Structure formats: structure tokens, C-alpha cells
Amino acid sequence: MKTNKFMEELFSTIPPEVEREVTLSFDIADNISNILERKKLSQKQFAQMIEKKEQEISRWLNGSHNFTIKTLAKISAVLDVEIQDIICKPKQPFIILMPLTSNTLNIQPNIENKKRIKQTNYCYENYWS
């Protein structure tokens, strides 16, 4: 990251509670967006399903909405996901180093034994549970 001094100072003075609050709003927005994408639902369809206006859904997805427990519960019910899937850190595509050995699998030791596992929108925690 190449950041000038001004930006460094600017970001370093954000109170931790504000940073956590805004980051959580972004996490929720990204998770809902990912779930809609995974379920092949447009914002319009989701708005109809949850009986809200499309503008309201846009506000939910812009990273600054303060979600109530009631709203989170409704989103979770309508999208048929756990609330945890909505509030967790959004998942990035990741690479798992498989616990392979050259003996057990009869492969050359220098073969790259990384295997890309399917991209999933679930949280790490849920993936492993």
C-alpha cells in the first residue's frame, strides 16, 4: 500500500468503535450481495421477496446501513441462511494446502500440492464446521 502521510494520519485517528461499526455494516452488505449472487437473485427480486422497495435494498448494500436485529432476522429467513452467514467476515476465494505426502499419494515431491477449493460465500467458520 502506497499511502501519503495525510491519509495515514487520517485513517489512524478513526476511533476503534467507529471503525468496527462501519466495517460490520460493510461486511453485512457484502455478505447479502454475495448471497444474492449465489442464489442468482436480483436486488429487485430480493426487494419483492422481503416486501421492501428496491431503494431500501440499495441502502442496505451501500455499507452504511445500521441494521436492526429484526431486519437481520427477516433477511436470514427470506434468504434461508443463518444470521451468522450475514454478519460474519465475508469470505474471499481461498487456497487450502492439502495435507498430502509424496508417499501416500505417489506424487513427485516437487509437485505443487495446492488445490484450489471451490469458491464459496460461506464464512470460514461455517465451512469448517
Binding positions for other proteins, rule: CB under 8 A: 1-4, 6-8, 10-11, 13-15, 18-19, 21-23, 26, 29-30, 33, 58-59, 61-66
Instruction: Kindly state the smallest distance separating residue 9's Cβ from other proteins, in Å.
Output: 10
Query: What residues contact 33, with CB distance under 8 A and at least 6 apart?
Result: 61
Given a contact cutoff of 8 angstroms between Cβ atoms, the answer to whether 80 and 73 are in contact is no
First-last CA distance in the chain: 34
Residue 97's SS3 state is strand
Of 2 and 40, nearer to other proteins (C-beta) is 2
Of 14 and 117, nearer to other proteins (C-beta) is 14
Instruction: Kindly state the smallest distance separating residue 105's Cβ from other proteins, in Å.
Output: 34
